[in-house]
Amino acid sequence: MHENRKPANLRQTYTHSGAAPLLSSNRFSVAPMLDWTDRHCRYFHRQLTGSTLLYTEMVTTGAIVHGKGDYLAYNEAEHPVALQLGGSDPAALAQCAQLAEQRGYDEINLNVGCPSDRVQNGRFGACLMGEAALVSDCIKAMRDVVSIPVTVKTRIGIDEQDSYVFLCDFVQTVSAQGGCDTFIIHARKAWLSGLSPKENREIPPLDYDRVYQLKRDFPHLTMAINGGVKSLEEAKAHLQHMDGVMMGREAYQNPGLLARVDRELFGSDAAAVDPVAVVRAMYPYIENELTKGTYLGHVTRHMLGLFQGIPGARQWRRYLSENAHKPGADVRVLEAALALVADKIPQEA
């Protein structure tokens, strides 16, 4: 058994301070984003917030079972961390869930929200909203073999199947038959044809009220809302109605806001996070990765938005973008970039 395996049915809670109230880690999370939330990104985000639940990029069952690489790799510092799986074969999902639990993941999440053609061709993602019984079978197969939480991330509808009744039927079926007790709801429907994944994140209108109503109608289920959340102030407003909030692109493009999450959303009384100290805290990790053949730019690309809104931020981004991919680039590149911005950061009283 993996030393990090969690006791049955326990959602671990995390805060920086023992005096702070213990709140579930799914109160705030960073969304799984393909090509963005890789292990380097998650390690960086963890330097900014200790309580936020971090998600992997979606990983298909085929990649885990048949791929040549280690698609379950992560750093122990990333906890709490959830693995998002893509697939629709209950047996394969169960196999992957077992492997993930053995590796110490804190949660398994099934993707029922991605609308890309490639994902549909593999019969997973948002198209599964039309197959609630199959989703139930998938969730039950995973829950039968692991003790960590198994959750679903979905949309409010697909194509013309976008009525509130359709959404309720989906949630009722997956919760009652599959045993799923936690849903992350992207407050937009998905068009399975005619729109790109990017357009599906922007064109279908957000309907937060529908998600709020879903939580009122299923009070016994844990529900988080996702889609278009751009600030912690908006997150706080959503938390008046929901159990949790998932933030996507804004958390990636403006990661500095994650430094406020533990204090403002989890009640921690820990000291304010210093972004310069966060950069330097990355040095041992980066140096270790460089010895493994990782290019500096593969890590620093996730750090470009750290100083957003601070004088010198543009110079920071430009310097890293121009120099991190050069042969032999190491932490000295980061030190030089910091010199362009560090003395311009306002000090908190």
Which 3-state string (H, E, C) describes the chain? CCCCCCCCCCCCECCCCCCCCCCEHHHEEECCCCCCCCHHHHHHHHHHCCCCEEEEEEEEHHHHHHCCCCCCCCCHHHCCEEEEEECCCHHHHHHHHHHHHHHCCCEEEEEECCCCHHHHHCCCCHHHHHCHHHHHHHHHHHHCCCCCCEEEEECCCECCECCHHHHHHHHHHHHHCCCCCEEEEECCCECCCCCCHHHHCCCCCCCHHHHHHHHHHCCCCEEEEECCCCCHHHHHHHCCCCCEEEECHHHHHCHHHHHHHHHHHCCCCCCCCCHHHHHHHCHHHHHHHHHCCCCHHHHHHHHCCCCCCCCCHHHHHHHHHHHCCCCCCCHHHHHHHHCCCHHHCCCCC
Give residue 272's pLDDT.
84
User: What is the distance between the alpha carbons of residues 256 and 258, in angstroms, rounded to a whole number?
Assistant: 5
Q: Tokens 């804190």 correspond to what residue?
A: 106
pLDDT tens for each residue of 101-145: 999 999 999 999 988 766 666 677 889 999 999 999 999 999 999
Of 9-23, 56-70, 149-163, 241-255, the one with minimum mean pLDDT is 9-23
Query: One of 41, 114, 127, 180 is an active-site residue; which one?
Result: 114
- pTM here is 0.91
Q: Is residue 41 annotated as part of the catalytic site, yes or no?
A: no
Q: Is the peptide bond between 80 and the residue preceding it cis, with omega within 30 degrees of 0?
A: yes
Give residue 116's pLDDT.
75
pLDDT tens for each residue of 303-337: 999 999 999 999 999 999 999 999 999 999 999 99
Q: How many angstroms separate the Cα of 58 from the Cα of each of 96, 201, 232, 259, 347?
A: 13, 16, 25, 25, 38
Q: 89 and 61 in contact (C-beta within 8 Å)?
A: yes
- Model confidence at 4: pLDDT above 80: no
Residue 228 φ/ψ region, left for φ over 0, alpha for ψ in the -120 to 50 degree band, beta for the rest:
left
pLDDT tens for each residue of 167-203: 999 999 999 999 999 999 999 999 888 888 888 888 8
The b/e string for 246-261 (b: 16+ C-beta within 10 A; e otherwise) is bbbebbbebbbbbbeb
Which of 173, 89, 97, 95 is CA-nearest to residue 129? 173
Taking residues 278-291, report their average pLDDT: 97
Give residue 276's pLDDT.
94
Give residue 5's pLDDT.
35
Cβ-Cβ contacts under 8 Å for 260 (sequence gap 6 or more): 232, 273
Give residue 15's pLDDT.
36
* Residue 96 confidence class, pLDDT cut points 50, 70, 90: very high
Give the strand pairing for 150-154 and 107-112.
Answer: parallel
Give residue 270's pLDDT.
86
Q: How many CB atoms lie within 10 A of CB 274?
A: 15
Q: What's the mean pLDDT when you consider all of the chain? A: 90
- Model confidence at 221: pLDDT above 90: yes
Q: Binding-site residues for FMN, please?
A: 32-34, 84, 153, 186, 226-228, 248-249
User: What is the distance between the alpha carbons of residues 23 and 224, in angstroms, rounded to a whole number?
Assistant: 14
- Report the percent of the chain where pLDDT is more than 90: 80
Give residue 14's pLDDT.
38
- Model confidence at 162: pLDDT above 90: yes
Which of 123, 121, 114 is CA-nearest to residue 198? 114
